[in-house]
Structure formats: structure tokens, C-alpha cells
């Protein structure tokens, strides 16, 4: 019976050890779960911040494009004026200044990444051009653009205004 008493004394220590080990394992698992939750929260926050920055940049871009669209009408008028520039004003300083303003406008648009859509001499592309008129034209291919009524523009591979054109039949 003396052996049985010793075994009972050994078992309580072993049970306490096993219980402690179990509690440690539970705490380790809980710590690991909390670490994983923290990592997910950090990743979610990083993704959120990147999404907000992207949306902010897109909104700024959109605002710029809306302003540019409004200014294209003014630019068109500069171009029309240049195309009807009287010969007697070729040396006039004021007129030359107006032409310099037009060149500056073109340079700013190019700097912003706004490109003019090629028209005359190219094939009609409904993704870039708006056909206003068609007429027979000798020496021209069918659907070749023979005249531009209004220039079109692209920004970041997106049409901001379609070119209005005349096509050969």
C-alpha cells in the first residue's frame, strides 16, 4: 500500500503539469490567433489607405479632365482664329502674341498627357472618331478621313472628345 500512496503523490504533480501545459498551449493558440487578427487588420488598413489614395488621384484626374473639356472650346476658337488669320496681320505683335498663347496651350496639354486624335489621311475608327458626313472622293479609300470638322483628344488611352470628321465613300 505504500506504493499506492507514492503513486497518488506523483499523479497530482503530473496532473498539475499537464494542466499547466494545456493552459500554456491554449494561451499560445490565443496569442497566435490575436497575432493573425492583427496582421489581417494591418493588411486591411494598408489596402484601405491604398484604395483611398487611388480614389483621391482619380478624383483629381477627373476634375482636371472636366476643366480641360471646358477649355477645349476656347482652344478650338484659337485654332479657328489662326486658320483665318489675315495676311496683313502677320507682322502685328498683338496677333503674334495670340499665336504664342495658342502654342503655350498646346504645350500644356501635351505636358498633361492630352493628345490630339489623328484624323485626315487615316482610316475611320468609331472608337476615336464621329462621322458627320460622307462623300465620294477620288484617290481615297472607303472610310478614309478626308476632313476634320472638330479635333478629338485622348487622355490615358481614354477619349475625352471624339474627333468629328468627314469620310470618303
Flag whether 105 is in a domain: no
13 pLDDT tier (thresholds 50, 70, 90): low
Inside any domain, residue 65: no
Any domain includes 2: no
Residue 42: inside a domain: no
Cα radius of gyration rounded to whole Å, the chain: 37
Residue 133 in any domain: the answer is yes
**C-alpha distances in angstroms, 17 versus 7, 30, 118?**
15, 20, 82
- Residue 130 falls inside a structural domain: yes
Domain total of the chain = 1
Residue 121 makes CB contacts below 8 A (sequence gap 6+) with 144, 145
82 belongs to a structural domain: no
90-93 long-range Cβ contacts below 8 angstroms, 24+ apart = none
10 pLDDT above the threshold of 80: no
* Full domain range(s) for residue 126: 113-169
Mean pLDDT throughout 119-127?
96
CATH of the domain at 145: 2.30.22.10
pLDDT above 70 covers a percentage of the chain that reads 92
| Mean pLDDT, residues 59-66 | 87
pLDDT in tens, 76-114: 988 888 888 888 888 889 888 988 998 999 999 999 889
Return the pLDDT at 9. 52
Amino acid at each position: 500500500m505504500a506504493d499506492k500512496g507514492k503513486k497518488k503523490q506523483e499523479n497530482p504533480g503530473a496532473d498539475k503539469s499537464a494542466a499547466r501545459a494545456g493552459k500554456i498551449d491554449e494561451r499560445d493558440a490565443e496569442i497566435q490567433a490575436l497575432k493573425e487578427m492583427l496582421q489581417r487588420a494591418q493588411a486591411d488598413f494598408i489596402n484601405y489607405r491604398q484604395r483611398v489614395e487611388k480614389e483621391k488621384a482619380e478624383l483629381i484626374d477627373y476634375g482636371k479632365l472636366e476643366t480641360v473639356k471646358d477649355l477645349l472650346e476656347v482652344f478650338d476658337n484659337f485654332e479657328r482664329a489662326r486658320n483665318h488669320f489675315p495676311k496683313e496681320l502677320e507682322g502685328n505683335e498683338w496677333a503674334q502674341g495670340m499665336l504664342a498663347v495658342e502654342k503655350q496651350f498646346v504645350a500644356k496639354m501635351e505636358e498633361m498627357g492630352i493628345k490630339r486624335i489623328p484624323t485626315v489621311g487615316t482610316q475611320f475608327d468609331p472608337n476615336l472618331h464621329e462621322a458627320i458626313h460622307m462623300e465620294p472622293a477620288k484617290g481615297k479609300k472607303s472610310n478614309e478621313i478626308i476632313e476634320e470638322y472638330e479635333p478629338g483628344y485622348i487622355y490615358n488611352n481614354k477619349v475625352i472628345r471624339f474627333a468629328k470628321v468627314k469620310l470618303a465613300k
